[in-house]
Structure 1
């Protein structure tokens, strides 16, 4: 820290010194957009100059910057879904930065313009291919099962698949589940799932903005091959104290927020109380789930201490336990602990913004075998990360972004081998990366993003490359058609040891890539277009090709102790995705279709991973008839996933070193399998319906919701029990409800 803070200040002062206004005939406008009721920032609001081509959108921090605005009196239009549009007059002075902060007022009826489309981006040449911006309203549109869940929303995007109703784990464009990075206020969440993967640990009520990158992400982001989910939580109400109580079928939660001197706070907690509901998800099996999560965020700003600065401190705790109270069954314990701090600053007299983010993330998972016959296992991850990011905006509208990331990670994996000897695989490594990114926005019809990420120090001993170039292009062919392209190289030093043949994998330890294997890498090629038929109807199409090298796999051909436990294999995925969105004041819909292929290349074998889905269709539709009623329907269709069929079995003599007394009773059935994943399950489809009503009383504002999952009780197959041949189906018809009160 003694080096980082002076370095940031030196860079900032240097840029301030070289900042000159080329023309006194234009000026720049910047500021933040906030909610007039709560004082919280509003992300993704559009800010445009009336009658001109200049415009911008607020980022996840509610900040905007508009370059090269002609001097004189100008009208600035502020708009955002769910808020009343405002027009504000400002006298733009040439050669200086003009500050304009604004508050927007929410519309009286929340459901009158709930949308899944959003406004057209104020900067239509924005290089945002592969990026989905998701709001809390998008999450609320989904029918609620056991819990309202952000991952169920992500799975509705084309190119995102899951392996069944009993898991919220997702797979993006043919990549594994451990290739997805989840960030909470800049900190890594290593296990973002409750109840053995059925839903997310992140409470949707806490979310301010959610950015989901399906590929082609910028040089500022790394550490994973497939996707980035960047979650920013709310700051809390800055104007008055507020409380929320919510009860559902599975858990209850409370929240409190309000002002403090110079800022605000947000405190939330959620606790399970009725695990029997989850039996529907896991085929009526008795599984005593017990979980909780807790979060606290405090923000503070004081011009007398540091002008135009904001300080944030946050913590997040979650825990999951499965205690069976049966000595013949295993018990599981999983926890996440996160603590972090952030300093954001808008530099006076300069179009420079900086962020310094510190975070510590702790993950722990353990398996207690009891008398089940399995072996004890334990995994721990300690991750201390420093991120520094700076953004400089030129008069030409171009942007220069640069920064660095330093990680210090310790992983520990303890388990016992077949000889009952404890194996302790503990590693501590550091990583240092820097990036530079230049965005060309000087042309109205073209946006060009060129950058590179430098991996100066890697946690992996064998790394394929030092430089990771990234390129993204947006071309406005005309007002109605936008062409987009992206290319990038990515690498990953940490992996989770997963077995894709396990339907519900509980223990998936994270480790740093071992010394004898090479760190995984991927190359993304993406091309697409966006077509606006009207201001309410938009079609988005993307085609992608992803080449993956050095994927880590358990060495299933290991027969001697001198052979390695892991090996590298290669893979690839390719496909095309489309989404047609319509937004009206009463009716809205989103229809998406994806066609994709995923393959892995082991020695003398090419096969499709279990999460390879050839066809998928998702239709989301809703009606807002008024009076704060909302009706939503979601229909999903997907082709069957691959599996390895059984061709036969034989009786295998089991020898444990002792002379068997009765050799005839010492045989167990051993199965013979066909080629890996050479068969596919039948098609999957399901219809979910929901209804929501909001109303106010003198005591509180209430929200009532009810939903029915799998309305026509489709018997979607989950798997066949290989010992009995019995067919096991997924979630049957499942009604759910919730009630929420805001005080």
Structure 2
């Protein structure tokens, strides 16, 4: 097996309305009570397939090769989603940064949803489904200018207890489910990574050593009481932790190029969430979901000696959503959310303000030290409403609006939304959607005193989306979608003194705000999605996405391609049920190479003859070679009288493609450049035992 290099691990440790792509459980996967069993409820039966072919079920995503029994990690095989050649732990969707996404689990926002290795924090035994809102989503979601991933876990089984043990080369997990009586039950799951026990054996250089081995943990639990088929009360807990740390050797290239890294890098991130949710369906058709949650988050990062950020927040959220029928095929949806965030922020940093638009973020360039110790309380209130009206037999329109008050930036947002669907002919539908959005800061340090600029405003975006879909037959659907997004008030670091402010003295320059809202952007593209539903023992889907995304630095008037500009992404996924106990599958993915800023030379530092300063080419001016790989998977089920077992095996990167994910510059003067490649061919085996 090819060994890992330090350059490949550095990024690893440093880090209902608008035609969404719905991933929902089918009726035969999880047994739920039926409203038809209650004589007081009038039921309207909708005839048709239980799983619409516009969706991809969790059962299918569980077996996507390379996902390791993780439906959410398999999101990468869906249109417009990219994990940037393995260098990011969260998905970039339609040209936006992963930091601009919002994540929900079981009705409430969570701290994060993907571990540092891109696997999700949810146990596959409990996932009921998820919604990927790639753009132009409805007003019930708040705090995202990119995409929304809304995952849900299933109800506990009120009849049958079970225990599931799942072990592979990457992680191990235990799941326990226990009914209490016919009206209530619970389950608990816990998992931890395993690669920390053997990752040292994969390293072939001696440039660094781990001070904290990369590892993660997660847990999830749910208790549900269902006094009737129209009401439920749920208590749920979920949490996750990721951490890693390393130290560079004294003669390493990293320290020669940036002595500020002496002391190493370490990071830890975790969250714990508890919530109670009440669901109720009334005889007049009114439905509501209301709940209260507490979310504790912490992020710690240390770089070099004396540079650290320590952020801890406690969010208290009260959220309700309602739906009321106003007539036949006419529904009013509305809701409200009140949140209060208590944040404690501590930090010290000796270095220039840095962002994704500046390729040189070395600590050695720091001529100022900023410190911060602040406790703040932030209150946010939002109201949302949408009117879903089937105006004619063939035309549905849903106008909506989100009204949000954010007191930290003292801003009031009134954001209209609109979506519509028109059946132009049997089996043919046209869709369109529009919406305006704002985003909570993922990097709060940019908004904090001393560290950043407390006068910053929240970033905003406008989305447009249109598409056409055609159901060729009962098991085959084709959808073509186009989108256009604009981003406003993007946060950017203070511009270079010599380039933009040559007439300012050093003191005047350092008095400028470290960050401002002086960047903007746009993204556009087309996506083709073909979904083949299960028939004749096989199913699969294919997608082709073409896109462009650009950013503008309004301080320097630079217009450039954004780092997530990957014009072409192709996914081919298929699975074949060879028999009732054996299935085979493959996934092939192609994507344009990542954009990078090349180093074209170096010059000796005037004050330190042993230090060289890199000379960069134009920002994001070089594209890495195209990334493609083939993953295959086999599942074999064994059934016994009181238990069952599944053996699964995956081969990742079957044909051994040396996919380049970046460049590493060697020596103090950056005189040599070598490719940093993604993982070689890897064989992974696992076993799942269900008792």
1:296-338 deviation line (CA, Å, top 9, x unaligned)? 11111335xxx94311111112222325599943332221111
Q: 1:590 Cα deviation (Å)?
A: 0.9
Does residue 139 of the first structure (1) align with residue 87 of the second (2)? no
- Aligned residue for 2:77, secondary structure, equals coil
Call closer, same or farther: CA 1:565–1:84 in 2, change over 3 Å.
Answer: closer
Does residue 731 of the first structure (1) align with residue 652 of the second (2)? no
Partner of 2:253: none
Superposition CA RMSD, Å: 3.4
TM-score (norm 1): 0.76
Q: 2:561 aligns with which of 603, 608, 611?
A: 608
**Worse-matched range after superposition: 642-651 or 582-591:** 582-591
Partner of 2:342: 410
Call closer, same or farther: CA 1:340–1:61 in 2, change over 3 Å.
Answer: farther
1:498-554 deviation line (CA, Å, top 9, x unaligned)? 99xxxxxxxx99999954222111111100011111111110110000011011223
Superposed, 1:651-662 pairs within 5 Å as 651-654=604-607
CA distance in 2, matches of 1:374, 1:266: 44
Partner of 1:692: 635
Contact between 2:452 and 2:515, CA under 8 Å: does it hold in 1?
Answer: no
1:687-732 deviation line (CA, Å, top 9, x unaligned)? 0011011121234111110010000100111111123412111111
Call closer, same or farther: CA 1:82–1:183 in 2, change over 3 Å.
Answer: closer
Call closer, same or farther: CA 1:359–1:245 in 2, change over 3 Å.
Answer: same
- Aligned residue for 2:340, secondary structure, equals strand
- Aligned residue for 2:611, secondary structure, equals strand
CA distance in 1, matches of 2:678, 2:390: 49
Q: 1:453 aligns with which of 398, 402, 420?
A: 402
Superposed, 1:311-460 pairs within 5 Å as 311-324=233-246, 328-347=263-282, 349-368=283-302, 372-373=304-305, 375-418=307-350, 422-441=371-390, 443-455=392-404, 457-460=405-408
- Aligned residue for 2:619, secondary structure, equals coil
Q: 1:491 aligns with which of 419, 433, 438?
A: 438
1:273-314 deviation line (CA, Å, top 9, x unaligned)? 3425657999988651232111111111335xxx94311111
1:52-75 deviation line (CA, Å, top 9, x unaligned)? xxxxxxx9999xxxxxxxxxxxxx
CA distance in 2, matches of 1:364, 1:85: 36
Q: 1:593 Cα deviation (Å)?
A: 0.3
- Aligned residue for 2:125, secondary structure, equals helix
Superposed, 1:484-523 pairs within 5 Å as 484-496=431-443, 515-523=454-462
Partner of 2:626: 683
CA distance in 2, matches of 1:313, 1:701: 30
Unaligned segments of structure 1, at least 5 residues: 1-43, 45-58, 63-78, 103-116, 122-131, 500-507, 656-665
Does residue 473 of the first structure (1) align with residue 473 of the second (2)? no
CA distance in 2, matches of 1:88, 1:309: 11
CA distance in 2, matches of 1:293, 1:187: 17
Call closer, same or farther: CA 1:281–1:339 in 2, change over 3 Å.
Answer: farther
Contact between 2:85 and 2:594, CA under 8 Å: does it hold in 1?
Answer: no
Partner of 1:206: 126
Contact between 1:379 and 1:412, CA under 8 Å: does it hold in 2?
Answer: yes
Q: 1:360 Cα deviation (Å)?
A: 1.2
Contact between 1:387 and 1:404, CA under 8 Å: does it hold in 2?
Answer: yes
Contact between 2:85 and 2:627, CA under 8 Å: does it hold in 1?
Answer: no
Q: 1:496 Cα deviation (Å)?
A: 2.7
1:148-196 deviation line (CA, Å, top 9, x unaligned)? 33443211111112212243321111111111111111232223232x3
Does residue 586 of the first structure (1) align with residue 563 of the second (2)? no
Q: 1:301 aligns with which of 226, 232, 249?
A: 226
Unaligned segments of structure 2, at least 5 residues: 1-15, 17-21, 249-261, 351-367, 498-505, 667-671
Q: 2:526 aligns with which of 576, 586, 605?
A: 576
CA distance in 1, matches of 2:650, 2:143: 38
Contact between 2:452 and 2:514, CA under 8 Å: does it hold in 1?
Answer: no
CA distance in 2, matches of 1:137, 1:512: 46
Q: 1:740 aligns with which of 666, 684, 688?
A: 688
1:544-582 deviation line (CA, Å, top 9, x unaligned)? 000110112233437633211212111000010011122
Partner of 2:651: 708
TM-score (norm 2): 0.82
Call closer, same or farther: CA 1:290–1:213 in 2, change over 3 Å.
Answer: same
Call closer, same or farther: CA 1:713–1:118 in 2, change over 3 Å.
Answer: farther
Q: 1:374 Cα deviation (Å)?
A: 5.6
Call closer, same or farther: CA 1:495–1:292 in 2, change over 3 Å.
Answer: closer
Call closer, same or farther: CA 1:320–1:141 in 2, change over 3 Å.
Answer: same
1:396-453 deviation line (CA, Å, top 9, x unaligned)? 2210111111111233432213266632254321111101111013533111111111
